[in-house]
Amino acid sequence: MHDWITGLGARALADDRITFDGQDDARRTLDGTAVTPLVQFGVLDVLGADAEKFLQGQASAQLTLVKGDFAPLTVFCSPKGRILANAQLMRIAEEHYRLVLHRDLVEPLAAHLGKFAVFYRVELKTRDDLALIGLIGQEAGALAEVRLDTPPPSAWHQAGDADTQLLAHPGPRPRLLAILPTEQATELWPRLTEQATPVGNAVWSLHDIQAGLAWLTSHHRDALLPQMINWEALGGISFKKGCYTGQEVVARAHFRGQVKRRLMRGQLEGDALPEIGSAVLDHRDKAVGEVLATELDAYDQAEVLVVLSTKEDIGPLSVAGQTLKVLKLPYPVERLDPETLHDRG
């Protein structure tokens, strides 16, 4: 999976983590343009005459909106409404859809969907032959347009063709995600690094944290409701579509206001990164939440995404012995229908 980029000077620290052994990667993106291999993500394709119908019954997205321009967030749930995987959904061509999600969950999601796919004319295909590259910075759009010959789309939309796709993600700096065959990525990379600094993919994960965007891993599979990661506030749940697996529980939690935990941003007073799943403790050392993601920022302080109790006054908080300061999310925690997001363009 990493062969295409390790040959260009990168070093794999784990299956989902790569570095170029540079210093101050996060600081470099404050003013400059950076490029990074997004090895934390994987791709699952859904193909066939029944692909749209099949996904309509499994995903929280409204498939009738996904026509090759709008590329919404979505979730796949258990019958109890717990997230099995969260993803971004694209249409590549007629009868061909693509899901981008954390690499940890590609195979488990394929196995889960495979139980239902046998009743439809569909094929599920994991795409280890594709590379995902992230561009970060004010010049990311111009660089993509020149090197990929593709004008950048707006957030949660797609551009490109059947071979190469370009997605725009929100964040503190402009961000673009390119998907292309690995052999093309090998040729493209040197041309990108002429104008962008190679950085480890931890920088992209940091910008996800700062954007209030959680990509679940196997650690939290089948554990959280979609609203607990603010998915309805990011346009990731259609409450106007018909039934899908887990829909009744998700809708009930929304309309009855039964969500007792929410995704929140935070910063730790220290530079030690806690483990995913680490408990958030109150002043009585009682667990009131847990860590979903964590990275060091440009000033070597740990930033985190946590799922935290919605109680108004839970007092001072800490994680792994470090004080936790809750930060403001960059979006309101309220329902944003994907239909509205689609119409905005």
**First vs last C-alpha separation in the chain:** 34
User: At which of 257, 282, 308 does a domain end?
Assistant: 257
Mean pLDDT along residues 270-288: 94
Is residue 174 domain-shared with residue 270, that is, in the same domain? no
Mean pLDDT along residues 114-142: 97
Is residue 50 domain-shared with residue 163, that is, in the same domain? yes
pLDDT of residue 139: 96
Structural tokens at position 178:
């390119």
Is residue 192 domain-shared with residue 287, that is, in the same domain? no
Banded model confidence at residue 315, pLDDT cuts 50, 70, 90: confident
Banded model confidence at residue 1, pLDDT cuts 50, 70, 90: low
Which percentage of the chain shows pLDDT scores above 70?
99
How does pLDDT run across 215-233, given as a tens digit for each residue?
999 999 999 999 999 999 9
What CATH number is attached to the domain comprising 299? 2.40.30.110
Average pLDDT over all residues of the chain: 94
Identify whether 337 is part of a domain: no
Residue type, 45: D
Helices 182-192 and 140-148: crossing angle in degrees, nearest 10, is: 130
DSSP 83-123: EEEEEEEEEEETTEEEEEEEGGGHHHHHHHHHHHHTTTT-E
Identify whether 336 is part of a domain: no
pLDDT of residue 193: 94
- What is the Cα–Cα distance from 116 to 195, expressed in whole angstroms? 46
Mean pLDDT along residues 11-39: 88
pTM of the model: 0.96
Identify whether 154 is part of a domain: yes
Identify whether 268 is part of a domain: yes
How does pLDDT run across 132-171, given as a tens digit for each residue?
999 999 999 999 999 999 999 999 999 999 999 999 999 9
Q: What is the domain count for the chain?
A: 2
315: exposed, middle or buried (Cβ count in 10 Å: 0-12, 13-18, 19+): exposed
Is residue 216 domain-shared with residue 321, that is, in the same domain? no
61-95 CB burial, b ≥16 within 10 A, e <16: bbbebbebebbbbbbbbeeebbbbbbbbbbbbeeb
Mean pLDDT along residues 71-84: 97
What CATH number is attached to the domain comprising 46? 3.30.1360.120
Evaluate the CA torsion angle 160, 166, 169, 175 in order and state its sign: negative
Residue type, 307: V
Range scoring the smallest mean pLDDT among 146-160, 248-262, 294-308? 248-262
Identify whether 203 is part of a domain: yes
The more confidently predicted of residues 285 and 29 is 285
Is residue 232 domain-shared with residue 147, that is, in the same domain? yes
| Helix/strand/coil for 202 | helix
- What is the Cα–Cα distance from 232 to 226, expressed in whole angstroms? 7
Is residue 237 domain-shared with residue 291, that is, in the same domain? no
Identify whether 68 is part of a domain: yes
Is residue 101 domain-shared with residue 1, that is, in the same domain? yes
- What is the Cα–Cα distance from 137 to 198, expressed in whole angstroms? 12
Range scoring the smallest mean pLDDT among 13-22, 48-57, 68-77? 13-22
Is residue 93 domain-shared with residue 135, that is, in the same domain? yes
Is residue 321 domain-shared with residue 206, that is, in the same domain? no
Return the ∠ at Cα 13 (arms to 297 and 229), rounded to 5°. Answer: 50
pLDDT of residue 257: 81
Q: Which residues contact 33 (CB under 8 A, 6 or more apart)?
A: 135, 136, 137, 138, 139, 140, 143, 195, 196, 197
How does pLDDT run across 326-338, given as a tens digit for each residue?
999 999 999 999 9
Identify whether 334 is part of a domain: no
Is residue 89 domain-shared with residue 152, that is, in the same domain? yes
Location of structure tokens 């490029």:
35
Structural tokens at position 276:
């995913």
State the residue range of the domain holding 314. 260-327
Partners of 93 in beta bridges:
96
Banded model confidence at residue 242, pLDDT cuts 50, 70, 90: confident
Residue 142: DSSP 8-state? H
Identify whether 272 is part of a domain: yes
CA distances from 148 to 60, 179, 201 (A): 31, 11, 20
Is residue 203 domain-shared with residue 309, that is, in the same domain? no
pLDDT exceeds 80 at position 313: no
Q: For 229, list phi and psi in degrees, rounded to 5.
A: -115, 20
pLDDT of residue 2: 62
187: exposed, middle or buried (Cβ count in 10 Å: 0-12, 13-18, 19+): exposed
Is residue 177 domain-shared with residue 290, that is, in the same domain? no
